[in-house]
Homo-oligomer: A and B are copies of this chain.
Amino acid sequence: MIKTSDQKYLRAIYAISHTEKNNKVGLSDLAYYLDLKPPTVLERLNFLQKEKLITYKKTDGARLTKTGEKEALNVIRKHRIWETFLHKVCEFGWNEVHEMAEQLQNVDSEKLIDRIYTLSGEPKFDPHGDPIPDKSGRLPVSVRRPLLNSVEGCKCTVLGVNEDSAAFLNYLTDLKIGLNEKLSVEKIFLFDGSVKIKYKQGESAVLSPKVAEKIMVSCNKPGCSCKN
């Protein structure tokens, strides 16, 4: 059985390699992400390589092997199912669930995850809009795209976000933008790409491109001319 501390490494590698700038997962990127020092991480990477869960070369960074990716997706599955449960069944805000799920994902019982998932209604996406892998690690496909890619006049729905920081989530909460919120794109400012949106009854906001890039939506009308 693979240790929970090692699962953290696998999950981190997975997360970093699925960023926009998805090139190589360097030692110091990982150390920074995990809040550890490079020598600590290096030691463990060598171990994980011996176990054939990753490959690691200084030039190439860390990459998950087939087995390693499966492990990573397994933890991601647990994490996202717990987040879903906490949000849907326990009624926590989507900005509160991450910390708790981080601890709960380590509980060792497949059967428990199954029950929790059933109780949550077996959705395909977690409260941040991230896809929940099935038991064999397959991800559901989604039509998520960044709000930033909208054309003026588009009406779309918030499916999730691309950042978990409390600062960001609290900002959205302040604006009263939540999961499943329907947004209407009023204007795209050519100057810097800022996006003006309307939502709820009469709320409106101008979002910086940095923010709009991290809000994931899907268009309400199929065949809308927004980019993906």
Contact = CB atoms under 8 A, between A and B. Distances in A.
Instruction: State the copy count for this chain.
Output: 2
Most buried by B among A89, A106, A107, A116: A107
A96 to B, nearest CB: 8
A99 B111 CA distance: 12
A100 B112 CA distance: 8
Chain A interface mostly helix, strand, loop or mixed? helix
Contacts of A100: 107, 109, 112
Interface string A88-109: 0111100000011001101111
B109 A106 contact: no
B103 A90 contact: no
A205 interface: no
Contacts of A58: none
A142 to B, nearest CB: 29
Contacts of A3: none
Nearest to A97: B112
Contact of A92 (B92, B104, B115): B115
Contacts of A112: 86, 90, 100
Contacts of A91: 115
Interface in A189-207: none
